Amino acid sequence: MAHMVFVETTRPATRAIDHAPAMGHEVTLIRSGRFDWLLPPAEHNRIRALDIRRVEIADTRSDVLIEAALRDLMAGGPVDAVLTALQPAGWASGRRRHGA
């Protein structure tokens, strides 16, 4: 199945994170903690309890750090989707998609 990478998360994305593994997809969450205010603490605790891969980086506002995390993930196999509302992640995933 697909490998879905979420960069930070919002309430709507938590639904996708919940359902993707049940559908056989691999899920990775790249986070820095800078956007923890987007979810209440109980929701963060619930996400932490899920059996998904987590990648911690210093700052998800940095396209360079996001791109490095994506490179590391892609070294272990393909990444089929990058889902985020953060603009730097869009830039980084686009560069990885087009081989820049």
List, for residues 4-30, the tens digit of each pLDDT value: 999 998 888 899 999 999 999 999 999
The confidence score (pLDDT) of residue 86 equals: 73
8 A C-beta contact, residue 63 and residue 32: no
Q: Give the pLDDT of residue 38.
A: 87
Q: How far is it, in rounded angstroms, from Cα 87 to Cα 60?
A: 10
**pLDDT value for 100:** 52
pTM: 0.84
